Structure 1
Amino acid sequence: MPTVTTDDGVEIFYKDWGSGQPIVFSHGWPLSSDDWDAQMMFFLDKGYRVVAHDRRGHGRSTQVADGHDMDHYADDLAAVVRHLELREAVHVGHSTGGGEVVRFLARHGEGRAAKAVLIAAVPPLMVQTDANPGGLPKAVFDDFQTQVATNRSGFYRAVPEGPFYGFNRDGVEPVEAFIANWWRQGMMGGAKAHFDGVVAFSQTDFTEDLKRIQLPVLVMHGDDDQVVPYDDSGPLSAQLLPNGTLKTYKGFPHGMPTTHAEVINSDLLEFIRA
């Protein structure tokens, strides 16, 4: 399998297909690069080079015990970018991957990047604090950690069966293949990485990172996102970004790159080509 070894000895698995301008995809928690299949195949067919990696502790990357924080995630992404000598890349991040992209650009600079896209992404800050009263209570994320530590397999069925794809909404027909694939990806990763990752995606404050990013950024968010609620995420990120544009999707769920791949892919292509 193609991998790059980070400075702290972690092997990061990646996919690198095609040629042309690179589009680099960063996946959500607790999934893997496989979650980008619909996007990678679409953009490969459009003549782009598509790259995606499994975050440390996720998918086929090393299941290390430590380093499950946004700084390490950003450094691992930087290692992939350097290893593949990517330039003029468009970075696309979904959910936790959106935080990874933001921290990467703020921490490692924009010299190798052209644009970025945040899809249903966790910035600016998910957890409720005095400065972020619209966030979710910390108890929500504490329960996530309890479920990961004690009932991971069951939890990884309940999330895609319910809020992730909006299958708990009236009139929405569940797609068993989506649910099973989500469970498969989650169970490929390590429980420790996923446990620590809850803190990384929920308690990292990206406010200052967002302010530093100068390149064009498209912020895509569904207004029925039950995982990363719309009001405290997408609109706030777009306001903080010096060159950010918000695109709101009425009724779309958190997992909209899968449930509404045709719409998301079309809008991504339009932004990249603009």
Structure 2
Amino acid sequence: MPHATTDDGVKLYYEEVGSGTPIVFVHEFAADHRSWEAQMRFFGQRHRCITYSARGYPPSDIPEKPASYSQNRATDDILAVMKHLKIDKAHVVGLSMGGFASLHFGLRHPAHALSLVVAGVGYGAERDQQAKFRAEVEVVAKSLLGEGMPAFAEKYAYGPTRVQFENKDPRGFAQFKKELGEHSALGSANTQIGCQGQRPSLYDLVEGMRKMTTPTLILTGDEDWPCLTPSVLMKREIPTSALAVMPNCGHTINLEDPDQFNRIVNEFIVQVETGRWPQRDPRALANSITGMKN
């Protein structure tokens, strides 16, 4: 099995296909490298595509202590995979937990990012939701360690922003739930405690966002309620960003509607690679609603 080794000695399992400009896909908390199969097949026809399982997700290593998991480590692990594959720059596409990592990659390692797709990002980011989110992180970790992965998957898969997936594609949802139940309870609990529960609010990253120059696509489902307002925040603050909203979609958008997800992301990457991705026109920031002044 191919593995890349991180600076702290953790081995990350990866898969790759195709040739051309590299794209790295970074999965969400409830998924793993397998969740990007539809994207690997589509983009692998024209690009060198890489997906990997994060630390704590078999067949990658599962560090035993929560201290081995953090937002910075999740971000730097992207670069570790790229360095192992001798990739200097890549398009980085992340969903949810992976979307947070892709955003932070743009903040921490902009020289290595051709573009960023920040999809399904916002859980626990709003000021009035942070305490609630962190309390739920503790509940999730306790459930994982106390009940085990299969029992946890039976409950977590039916979250309020995932039922859209079941209603739209029962067969795909069943596969998603099955694969979730195959994860490591310890690795998932440590991810919740060390990474999810400790990551900074998006509202604390505004100054960094305003300085970003990497082309950025913010993507969300219109029924992914925790991500809607944070997505508008990122659109407003990142001068090289655009916001796309997928209709009648929940959180797991790359699985729930892969054709639409692939089309939107592909159009974005084409614009970036042809030098057609714009930076915000300063005139769009005029302190006026209509542009007319007394």
Q: CA RMSD in A?
A: 2.2
Counterpart amino acid of 1:95? S
2:194 is aligned with 1:196: no
Counterpart amino acid of 1:146? K
Aligned residue in 2 for 1:90: 91
Q: Which 4+ stretches in 1 moved above 6 angstroms?
A: none
Contact 1:160 1:182 in 2 (8 A): yes
Counterpart amino acid of 1:26? V
Contact 2:150 2:182 in 1 (8 A): no
Matched residues in 2 for 1:202 and 1:224: separation? 23
CA deviation digits over 1:100-153, x for unaligned, max 9?
11222322x22222111011124xx6156xxx1255713333222222122232
Contact 1:99 1:201 in 2 (8 A): no
1:93-132 to 2 correspondences below 5 Å:
93-107=94-108, 109-122=109-122, 126=124, 132=127
Secondary structure at the aligned position of 1:15 is classed as: strand
Secondary structure at the aligned position of 1:8 is classed as: coil
* TM, length-normalised to structure 1: 0.87
Which of 1 and 2 has greater Rg? 2
Deviation at 1:192, TM superposition (A): 2.5
Structure 2 unaligned blocks of 5 or more:
272-294
What number of residue pairs does the alignment pair up? Answer: 262
Matched residues in 2 for 1:27 and 1:259: separation? 14
Residue of structure 2 aligned with 1:257, choices 244, 254, 257: 254
Aligned residue in 1 for 2:3: 3
1:12-31 to 2 correspondences below 5 Å:
12-31=12-31
Aligned residue in 1 for 2:219: 220
Matched residues in 2 for 1:153 and 1:142: separation? 18
Contact 2:31 2:176 in 1 (8 A): no
Matched residues in 2 for 1:73 and 1:136: separation? 22
Deviation at 1:202, TM superposition (A): 4.3
* TM, length-normalised to structure 2: 0.81
Secondary structure at the aligned position of 1:111 is classed as: helix
Deviation at 1:10, TM superposition (A): 0.9
Matched residues in 1 for 2:260 and 2:155: separation? 26
Secondary structure at the aligned position of 1:103 is classed as: helix
Contact 1:148 1:195 in 2 (8 A): yes
Secondary structure at the aligned position of 2:114 is classed as: strand
Secondary structure at the aligned position of 2:267 is classed as: helix
Deviation at 1:82, TM superposition (A): 1.0
Alpha carbons of structure 1 residues 168 and 28: separation in structure 2 relative to 1, 3 Å: closer
Structure 1 unaligned blocks of 5 or more:
none
Counterpart amino acid of 1:117? V
1:173-212 to 2 correspondences below 5 Å:
175-184=170-179, 186-199=180-193, 200-205=195-200, 206=202, 207-208=204-205, 209-212=208-211
Aligned residue in 1 for 2:76: 75
Secondary structure at the aligned position of 1:61 is classed as: coil
Counterpart amino acid of 2:21? Q
Contact 2:71 2:198 in 1 (8 A): no
Counterpart amino acid of 1:91? V
The structure carrying a bigger helix percent of its residues is 2
Q: Percent identity?
A: 24
Matched residues in 2 for 1:77 and 1:159: separation? 26
Contact 2:26 2:51 in 1 (8 A): yes
2:238 is aligned with 1:241: yes
